[in-house]
Chain A
Amino acid sequence: MNLNLYFTEVKRNRKNLITWSLIAVGFTALVIAIFPTMGDMGKDLVALMDKMPAELSKAMGMDAETWTNILGFYSTYYGIYIILLVGIFCMSTGATIVSKEERDRTSEFLLTRPLSRKQIFKEKMMAMLTLTFMIFLIQTIIAIVLVAIFGSNVRWSAFATMHVHGLVLILFFTCLGVLISFFFQPKKNFMGMVVGIIFGSYFLNAVSRAAESIEWMGYISPFRYMDFDPLNPEYSINWIGVVGLLLISSGLLYVAFRLFEKKDIAG
């Protein structure tokens, strides 16, 4: 293992890590802190929800309990906004960690060091995954603390399932980012693409759940397999989904590695 490259990569991304961790943690805190207020309003909302068309509430991932149970409330935000915020950082990091060297033409420096392309790719992926786990852990720990403070009778196994599903989604998007950067090189940054892909796949799943005729489309979305439904008493980790998505993620990285290995670094 080449610690020099690994640590330099982690260090180079630390500012982004801090910024996006603060955003994710801030949003988490905001969501959980307003729950007590929402909980009081919950009774009125339950009445309102009953009048809403079932398809709409299904698509939005809400039902009556969403507003009265802290995990139900947190899950509607975690399942998309927090995944999106964390995902923006992770997928952008994935998309830039290799491609930035080429864009800034520093790959000439890096690739003339006494390292094989395999070593370089490996160290970069290790650094990227370290960053992914770091932001995930920071957000998760803060969420645990806040849910423990603001909630009562919390079903922690459901919380754990949500976060395992979240982690798998984030890992998937991170790896997808790496591969995408071998095909697309936006002028400014990957932000637009990242938001589009994460939001897009979320809505693909959401919309497909609402109408049977387009249900098949939802199966393209990783959100289909990593769901966030802590109020369902049978909610538990979808192990087949977890293993499947992790295998696909590894496959994405493998394809990216083969492309990197074969790539000509022109001046």
Chain B
Amino acid sequence: MNGIETHNLTKLYGEHVGMKDVSLEIKEGEVFGFVGPNGAGKSTAIRTLLGLLHPTSGSGTLFGEDITKGEKVRARIGYLPSEVNYYEEMSSMELLEYHMRFYGQSDPSKIEELAAYFELDLQKKITDLSFGNKKKCAILQSLLHDPDLLILDEPTSGLDPLMQNRFFEHLEERNKQGTTIFFSSHILSEVQRMCDRAAVIKQGEIIAIENINELMAKQVKRARITFENKKEIEKISGMNDLQWHGKKLHFNYVGNIRPLIDWMQTQDLQDVTLDEPDLETIFMNYYKR
């Protein structure tokens, strides 16, 4: 059975397209990335899966259960929102206990254990928490009832690198034990680390579903090379958009990195910079071809 399945799921706000014909199949136990720029429809899709939004057309299931009647299956789901808004008058502890009781659980030691791992002060009121600490509280909330499916919307925003890493390690551990993870993000490196496959969404539509390793192999690199002397070069395959600026050559490179390095070794170079363009450029570049 699939953890998440959608068929032509569509959400329109009048004329405006929230998402259109989104069809996904995420297997149980998979870590599935959901990437796209801000405003592409990632949150719309997630909110529809969770029953917060009513789809205009199309259908979806979570572990085989219709998302429009999802109250039962939601007991098996942990949701980490991108923006955390909790009851400000409650402390983290009160909120998390309130949360646990919805799942028929009431073991404060479990809360304390996870809070220690993520270094969250449970006694502070939500209103007094920093952005990052609110996020930690939301992380605990998504994990505490041991869900079978985690739906994470921009999970690392607000977390420092140390905490991000700790969170990812925890997620990897959970995934080993069988938890399915739906990982929405606009940060490619996160998706690269965590996910087996990823769907790319743009302007509400899925433009590709890719195996991450294959995607990375196809990834565009922005290269800036300074030669000792300007000279004619022999283009190798994958080089695009070459631009000379004096002794400097700028170009985009698509494909396996090995041939590029081999080529560079044959040149007399002064300096090399390789960087990743932002995610949108990568996909624009990739899907243009």
A-to-B contact residues, CB < 8 Å: 2, 4-5, 8, 12, 104-106, 108-109, 111-116, 119, 262, 264-267
Q: Give 3 closest A-B pairs by Cβ, nearest first.
A: A105-B85, A114-B75, A265-B52
Give the docked Cα–Cα distance between A105 and B141 (Å). Answer: 16
Give the docked Cα–Cα distance between A108 and B43 (Å). Answer: 12
Residue contact B51 to A111, C-beta cutoff 8 Å: yes
Residue contact A104 to B53, C-beta cutoff 8 Å: no
B-to-A contact residues, CB < 8 Å: 43, 47, 50-54, 69, 71-75, 77, 79, 81-83, 85-89, 98-99, 101-103, 141
Q: Which residues of the other chain, B, contact A108 by a CB distance below 8 angstroms?
A: 52, 81, 85
Residue contact A104 to B88, C-beta cutoff 8 Å: yes
Q: Which residues of the other chain, A, contact B69 by a CB distance below 8 angstroms?
A: 116
In the complex with contacts A104-B87, A105-B85, A108-B81, A113-B102 CB distance below 8 A: yes
7 A-B pairs whose Cβ atoms sit less than 8 Å apart in the complex: A106-B86, A111-B50, A111-B52, A113-B99, A116-B69, A262-B54, A267-B82
Q: Which residues of the other chain, B, contact A265 by a CB distance below 8 angstroms?
A: 47, 52-53
Residue contact B98 to A115, C-beta cutoff 8 Å: no
B89 nearest in chain A by CB position = A12
A262 nearest in chain B by CB position = B54
User: Smallest Cβ distance from B80 to chain A, in angstroms?
Assistant: 10
Q: Which residues of the other chain, B, contact A112 by a CB distance below 8 angstroms?
A: 50-52, 74, 77, 79
Give the docked Cα–Cα distance between A106 and B52 (Å). Answer: 12
Q: Which of B51, B72, B85, B98 is A104 in contact with, Cβ under 8 Å?
A: B85
Residue contact B54 to A264, C-beta cutoff 8 Å: yes
User: Smallest Cβ distance from B48 to chain A, in angstroms?
Assistant: 9
A3 nearest in chain B by CB position = B101
Q: Which residues of the other chain, B, contact A266 by a CB distance below 8 angstroms?
A: 47, 53
User: Smallest Cβ distance from A125 to chain B, in angstroms?
Assistant: 18
Give the docked Cα–Cα distance between A35 and B71 (Å). Answer: 56
Residue contact B47 to A4, C-beta cutoff 8 Å: no
Residue contact B98 to A8, C-beta cutoff 8 Å: yes
A113 nearest in chain B by CB position = B102
In the complex with contacts A112-B74, A114-B102, A264-B86 CB distance below 8 A: no
Q: Which of A8, A109, A114, A262 is B71 in contact with, Cβ under 8 Å?
A: A114
Q: Which residues of the other chain, A, contact B75 by a CB distance below 8 angstroms?
A: 114
Q: Which residues of the other chain, B, contact A115 by a CB distance below 8 angstroms?
A: 71, 74, 102
Give the docked Cα–Cα distance between A60 and B104 (Å). Answer: 56
B142 nearest in chain A by CB position = A112
User: Smallest Cβ distance from B247 to chain A, in angstroms?
Assistant: 49
